[in-house]
Amino acid sequence: MDILIISKYILIIAFMIMMIAALRASAYRTTSMGLLGSSVAVVAFAVALLVCGDLYNFTFFRDISLALIFFGFVGTVAFAVVAGGDT
């Protein structure tokens, strides 16, 4: 088996672990930790989608991951501005 494919599979497993860790982190007490955990989970899913799309040739996988990353950022910043009060 090619070393590149093996490293891609290892990376997918690492992202799965990270998604579980992010879900656990988002369950902590403060609202900011929920925000942080959900943001990390979305980014981990987007990059895992990039790897999977590279392996299995999904359609539009780059566009979907770009949308996830970009709108995840927008949502996180918007929620942070609302949670942080004015300014």
Q: How far is the CB of 61 from other proteins (least distance, A)?
A: 10
- Residues forming contacts to other proteins in the complex (CB under 8 A) are 2-4, 6-8, 10-11, 13-15, 17-18, 20-22, 24-25, 30-33, 35-36, 39-40, 43-44, 47, 50-51, 54, 62, 65-66, 69-70, 73, 76-77, 79-81, 83-85
**Closer Cβ to other proteins, 20 or 60, answer by number:** 20
Count CA atoms within 13 Å of residue 36 on its CB side.
Answer: 10
Structure token pair of residue 67: 């949308």
User: Following CA atoms 17, 18, 23, 27 in sequence, which dihedral angle do they give, to the nearest 10 degrees?
Assistant: 110
Q: How far is the CB of 59 from other proteins (least distance, A)?
A: 16
* Contact call for residues 64 and 49 (beta carbons, < 8 A): yes
